[in-house]
């Protein structure tokens, strides 16, 4: 598999340090609010990468941190007159609920910053000892950026360019405007932990250096996040980790492009955001996941309500095709092997796309071509060919983390068909027809419940 490495700005063969085992670290959320659809992009994209690596027979150690102490969390706690940990805990739970809704596989570990203060202080201690960091009289500790000869290598910015934009602010106590905080001395009333520099709390960048080292070792295979994290967050992580550990921090770097609204990055600060929760309540979670992987991960995606609706319709096509396959399997009498050939071709196309820098857009196109083949060929297909098509269909959609709301019980195809018709009638606001179909379903012993993930058929 080839991936585009932000460090080299080239597609490179993705080879792990240890054969068959990938160690991946993904920067996770700061838990002070519900996540928005833009935040869910790295979550879904890199979960898809993980699923694909596993599908190809690898073991993946996948670590994604929770930033549970930060200015925004403290501000929110003050507004609600509660403590930072109450806020962090609440929104961490909401984040996990959204991850479950989006069918994200649980990470190998979800380390929290406040549970790694010892590891954080240990890295800071190494940096101070080697002269890469210094404490100031107010209890802050800063990284001495200019002392790192490789600083700027990820974002490809020479130090001179950074210098021209940096200013020492009034009252600043840093040696140099380029230096950044690894530890912040506490202000009155703020949460704080004891350290050799006095009471304080970690800077943002240092937590990822510390937690990657603790959970995955000094050198990891891949570090990922949104493209806005390249500078300064990831640049600073590299500086801290490589100066402290004396070895390469991450061998590959992947960054997803932005999710935009009217050509502006979806973000809390621009107030142009939609939370995953709100969108899921309207259309279900699965269309959000479909949407986020429908484009190549490095290209910008534009969010509109219409595009989410069209993703939902595309998903319905996949579900219908899969249900038809089940129906065909139950009634299989044909002897054609053409579908088996098309199945092999679909898998090959899918793998070629995914091997080319995780091209989920082309991988989805391969699946939709396969849908067309299934629809035309399943009538005459042999039972073995149908069985093969069904299991490949499940495997490929599973790699993309899709089709997880399928009823795998023995609900007859007829009932599925009625339920789909009812959904279509509701969409067309044909309430009389929808009610008639509901009654028909009831007569057969089924009800359709409208869940956050869309309609679900339940046996009465
Ligand atoms: P934050 O909570 O802002 O640190 O963001 C968490 C993750 O979401 C990071 O990997 C960000 O790069 C990513 N992210 C935030 N906004 C967007 C967006 N509009 N499009 C894509 N990724 C985003
Ligand atoms: Zn990070």
> Could you tell me which of 156, 39, 18 has the C-alpha nearest to residue 94?
39
Q: Which atom of ligand 1 is nearest to the CA of 273?
A: 19
Q: Distance between CA atoms of 349 and 371, rounded to whole angstroms?
A: 13
Separation of 27 CA from ligand 1 center, angstroms? Answer: 9
Tell me the average pLDDT across 240-262: 98
Q: Which ligand is nearest to the CA of 34?
A: 1
**Which range has the worst mean pLDDT, 122-131, 321-330, 392-401?**
321-330
- For 2-131+204-293, give the CATH class: alpha beta
**Ligand 1 surroundings by CB, under 6 angstroms:** 27, 29-30, 38-39, 41-42, 225-226, 228-229, 256, 258-259, 265-267
- Average pLDDT over the chain reads 95
Q: Which atom of ligand 1 is nearest to the CA of 39?
A: 8
Q: Which atom of ligand 1 is nearest to the CA of 224?
A: 10
pLDDT tens, residue by residue, 300-317? 999 999 999 999 999 999
Tell me the average pLDDT across 285-295: 98
pLDDT tens, residue by residue, 101-115? 999 999 999 999 999
* Cis geometry, peptide bond prior to residue 232 (ω within 30 degrees of 0): yes
pLDDT tens, residue by residue, 403-441? 999 866 677 778 888 888 898 898 889 999 999 999 989
Domain 305-399 belongs to what architecture? Up-down Bundle (1.20)
Query: Is the pLDDT score of 453 beyond 90?
Result: no
Percent of the chain with pLDDT over 70: 98
**Quick one: DSSP state of residue 19?**
T
Question: Between 298 and 451, whose confidence is greater?
Answer: 298
Q: How confident is the model at residue 151 (pLDDT cuts 50, 70, 90)?
A: very high
Q: Distance between CA atoms of 421 and 135, rounded to whole angstroms?
A: 68
pLDDT tens, residue by residue, 156-210? 998 888 887 777 676 678 999 999 999 999 999 999 999 999 999 999 999 999 9
pTM for the structure as a whole: 0.89
Q: Distance between CA atoms of 397 and 314, rounded to whole angstroms?
A: 13
- Residue 57 backbone class (left: φ over 0; alpha: ψ -120 to 50; beta: rest): left
Alpha helix ranges (H) inside 138-294: 159-165, 204-216, 235-245, 276-283, 286-294
Neighbouring residues of 219: CB distance < 8 A, sequence distance ≥ 6: 17, 245, 247, 248, 249, 250, 251
Tell me the average pLDDT across 107-124: 98
Percent of the chain with pLDDT over 90: 86
**How many residues comprise the chain?**
460
Tell me the average pLDDT across 56-72: 97
Within its chain, how far is the Cα of 281 from the centroid? 20
Q: Report CA-CA distances (Å) from 268 to 85, 273, 363, 431.
A: 21, 6, 31, 38
């Amino acid at each position: 598999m080839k991936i585009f490495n932000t460090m080299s700005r080239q597609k490179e063969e993705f080879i792990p340090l240890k054969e068959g085992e990938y160690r991946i670290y993904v920067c996770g959320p700061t838990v002070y609010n519900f996540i928005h659809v833009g935040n869910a992009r790295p979550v879904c994209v890199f979960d898809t990468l993980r699923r694909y690596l596993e599908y190809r027979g690898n073991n993946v150690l996948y670590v994604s941190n929770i930033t549970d102490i930060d200015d925004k969390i403290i501000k929110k706690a003050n507004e609600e007159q509660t403590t930072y940990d109450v806020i962090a805990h609440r929104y961490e739970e909401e984040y996990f609920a959204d991850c479950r809704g989006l069918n994200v596989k649980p990470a190998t570990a979800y380390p929290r910053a406040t549970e790694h203060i010892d590891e954080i202080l240990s890295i800071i201690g190494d940096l101070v000892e080697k002269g890469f960091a210094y404490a100031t009289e107010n209890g802050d500790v800063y990284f001495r950026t200019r002392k790192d000869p490789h600083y700027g290598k990820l974002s490809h910015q020479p130090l001179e360019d950074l210098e021209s934009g940096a200013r020492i602010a009034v009252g600043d106590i840093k040696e140099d405007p380029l230096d950044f905080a690894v530890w912040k001395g506490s202000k009155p009333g703020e949460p704080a932990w004891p350290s050799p520099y006095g009471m304080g709390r970690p800077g943002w960048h240092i937590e990822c250096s510390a937690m990657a080292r603790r959970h995955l070792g000094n050198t990891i295979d891949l570090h990922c996040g949104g493209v806005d994290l390249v500078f300064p967050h990831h640049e600073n992580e590299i500086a801290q980790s490589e100066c402290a550990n004396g070895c390469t921090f991450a061998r590959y770097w992947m960054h997803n492009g932005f999710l935009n609204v009217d050509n502006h990055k979806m973000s809390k600060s621009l107030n142009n955001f939609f939370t995953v929760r709100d969108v899921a309540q309207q259309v279900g979670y699965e269309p959000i996941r479909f949407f986020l992987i429908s484009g190549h991960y490095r290209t910008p995606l534009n969010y509109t309500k219409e595009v989410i609706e069209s993703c939902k319709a595309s998903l319905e096509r996949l579900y219908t095709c899969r249900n038809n396959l089940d129906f065909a399997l139950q009634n299989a009498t044909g002897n054609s092997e053409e579908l088996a050939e098309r199945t092999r071709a679909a898998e090959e196309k899918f793998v070629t796309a995914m091997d080319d820098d995780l091209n989920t857009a082309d991988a989805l196109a391969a699946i939709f071509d396969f849908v067309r083949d299934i629809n035309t060929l399943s009538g005459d297909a042999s039972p073995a060919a149908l069985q093969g098509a069904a299991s490949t269909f499940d495997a490929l959609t599973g790699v993309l983390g899709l089709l997880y709301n399928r009823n795998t019980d023995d609900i007859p195809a007829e009932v599925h068909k009625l339920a789909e018709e009812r959904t279509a009638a509701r969409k067309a606001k044909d309430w009389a027809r929808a009610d008639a179909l509901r009654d028909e379903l009831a007569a057969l012993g089924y009800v359709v419940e409208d869940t956050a993930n869309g309609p679900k058929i339940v046996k009465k």
